[in-house]
Amino acid sequence: MHRVVTRWSPLHVALGLSFGVATCGVAACGAANDEAPHAHRAQKVSRSQTPSRAQKGPEHPTSKQDRASTGRIQKDDRAVPLSDSAPPHDEEADQVLRLSGSESTSLGGPNAGSIEGAVALPRRGRGFRHNPRRPQDARYASVEVVQALIRAARVVHETMDGGELTVNDLGYERGGPIPSHGSHQNGRDVDVLFYLNGADGRPMPSVGAPLDPEGQGVDFKDLSDPSDDVAVQIDVPRTFRFVRALLEDPVAVVQRIFVAEHIRTMLLREAARVSAPSAIVERFGDLTCQPSYPHDDHFHFRFFCTAEDIRKGCLDAMPIYPWHRAELRRLGVRPKWAGTRRLKAPITTKQQARRRAGPLHKSVRRWLARREAWMKQPHPGRRYCR
């Protein structure tokens, strides 16, 4: 049985959200209804040689011949300092990168699923770290998803000075419902914080601070004390470079990016500024939507099932884009829809959260009032967003 770990951030509690558990300094880092039904791989080595992962059941073969690849309440909620330097050898991450996609199999869908052979994201690697304030039993995903995160973080680390990717929740070692998330059940979902700068424009540790339409926010720590508030600003160049690297990954295929509409707009402007490839810009535009919880403090990435995992029972949420259908057709596979079935996880009610929050100082109350302007889910009329 999975241990239920609930670690609320201060403002997350004040917002009264019953999903998206966060140790971020401001708000939620995941959401329960962030995926409406419409929204929508090295050799085997022993456990002693690789990061912990679940054993696959004997009824599931392990070879993968192909894959669908296309183009408080806590008072101590301080940001974890940036690492002074990258690990000298990054051995654990390198071991993960040597794994075969055959090591894991996603079963079922993102909202009602499981996983066999899940691999843990290393706690730290070149250019990234798993948030140490997040539950450590929720850092598992499919091999290809963890590998994609490592590769993309390295791209940013090797091409841009400073900054560090902070990864929050992925899923449990065997999948299934995870407290305060409506999905993250079959090893193909991950929450990632935005790269941030401080008021001085220098990279700072990422926190789950909701950002306004100018990309600015506040890391509220003690909600009753304004003296410890810290101004933050999204680091747009690094954030976009990470997203681009994920979309260009040679193996894992991003299916959905849940993010606030105004963050999407900023990243599209950055894509134009750096003359990003048109195919990447178009793909990003199609994949990004703001769900009912705005995702103004983090990304939620979802990845498509591989072709072999589809054959074994992996189900995708909608939408399934024409370009992905064409690739699966080339591989002799038809996509399978996950449907609307959900396995629900424990949540905290809005009333419970409000009571736990305690007194709020004026700046917090003003911020919450401002946030109402972009909290409501937009209906932009784009072909893949409701």
The domain segmentation of the chain, as residue ranges, is 10-63+92-374
Alpha carbon dihedral 126, 128, 134, 138, in 10-degree steps, equals -80
Distance, in Å, from the CA atom of 119 to the CA atom of 146, rounded to the nearest integer, reads 7
CATH code given to domain 10-63+92-374: 3.30.1380.10
Q: Yes or no: say if 268 and 319 are a contact pair by the CB < 8 Å rule.
A: no
For residue 348, the model assigns a pLDDT of 74
For residue 349, the model assigns a pLDDT of 74
For residue 73, the model assigns a pLDDT of 24
Cα four-point dihedral sign 276, 280, 283, 287: negative
Intra-chain end-to-end CA distance of the chain, in Å: 37
| Nearest residue to 384 (alpha-carbon basis) of 262, 316, 286 | 286
With b for 16 or more beta-carbon neighbours within 10 A and e for fewer, the 324-361 pattern comes to beebbeebebebeebeeebbebebbeeeebeeebeebe
pLDDT by residue, tens only, the chain of 386 residues: 333 333 335 565 555 443 333 332 333 333 333 333 333 333 333 333 444 444 443 333 333 333 333 332 233 334 556 554 555 568 999 999 999 999 999 999 999 999 999 999 999 999 999 999 999 999 999 999 999 999 999 999 999 988 899 999 999 999 999 988 889 999 999 999 999 999 999 999 999 999 999 999 999 988 899 999 999 999 999 999 999 999 999 999 999 999 999 999 999 999 999 999 999 999 999 999 998 888 999 999 999 999 999 999 999 999 999 999 999 999 999 999 999 999 988 877 767 777 787 899 999 989 989 998 998 888 888 989 87
Distance, in Å, from the CA atom of 129 to the CA atom of 98, rounded to the nearest integer, reads 19
Q: Yes or no: say if 176 and 185 are a contact pair by the CB < 8 Å rule.
A: yes
For residue 83, the model assigns a pLDDT of 56
Distance, in Å, from the CA atom of 8 to the CA atom of 17, rounded to the nearest integer, reads 10
